[in-house]
Structure 1
């Protein structure tokens, strides 16, 4: 199959993690086509998408210039794109200590910020019953994450 763009990015119109991938692709001038999947239609849980991502979540990326290599999880996608295609070192970090600090912040985002924002969004907008304790918990965690970032960026 011939592709005009280097990448196919599977996403959802409301997904927040997609922006990380889009920003890096844009910053590096890489071409991509976005396919938007619908949460309600079952696209994410179907057998076709499961071949790309067995976890059935977005984003997922196919690199057509690398034998249609498929990768999922937004932070893994970021590391892949930068490692493989940031030849001008616009985003790459070459110092070992800086590299691991970068990875540390990716893990902070993946294990804290992303899940807390996602859970709050779910309980605020989609959960069938109003669960105020869950909304309060995630709202407080979001505030805590922001305070961590503020403490670092304000120095």
Structure 2
């Protein structure tokens, strides 16, 4: 293999979806090069990147272990990585039922957490006009998603199979954003959603994930 790293990850410093892929690559022990696209320069819309991802979004990966295989959509990447490389199922479901539940949570993250948290962030901080009804709607949806997670996690430690899987990992970066900025530091996460708070802290305390978060913090200075 001529490439220096096993994977190339096209991502963005502030974009949550790229970091979930970095978390899993770190947990699996792979080497990877992160290429941080500059959204202000519209690098995600450049002809070069659109050849990799016609949707013009991050993340996308190139798997140099698999003939430079290219894939985009973060949860599709998580599934690909565990299906191809996690043969011992350290971070993936084993039984058919567990696989169904794993996919259920990946779809919930992609259709629920990401869009609702993202829209709440957009209408709170970036939308040129203040639309109170939109802010209120997406705040309620953000809290609803957290309440769903909290209810389930009040009865079990992890989302699937009594262990950390890609289902759990898929939620980390958007939750980080929610707790730090979207809901704000004054929001009583620990009191209102104690099971989510405990689960999230257990995930970000894992050495492989913490190392990626430390890298992100260093790059953000």
Residues in 2 aligned to 1:12 and 1:19: alpha-carbon distance in whole angstroms: 8
Q: How does 1:1-155 map to 2 (within 5 A)?
A: 2-155=2-155
CA shift for structure 1 position 143: 0.3
TM (norm. structure 1) is 0.96
Residues in 1 aligned to 2:51 and 2:2: alpha-carbon distance in whole angstroms: 19
CA shift for structure 1 position 19: 2.1
Residues in 1 aligned to 2:97 and 2:108: alpha-carbon distance in whole angstroms: 16
- Cα distance per residue 1:17-36 (max 9 Å; x no partner): 12211111111001111000
Residues in 2 aligned to 1:38 and 1:145: alpha-carbon distance in whole angstroms: 30
Larger CA deviation: 75-84 vs 61-70:
61-70
Task: Count matched residues.
Answer: 155
Residues in 2 aligned to 1:154 and 1:110: alpha-carbon distance in whole angstroms: 22
Structure 1 consecutive aligned stretches of length 4 or more whose deviation exceeds 3 Å = none
Q: What SS does structure 1 have at the residue aligned with 2:99?
A: helix
- Unaligned stretches of 5+ in structure 1? none
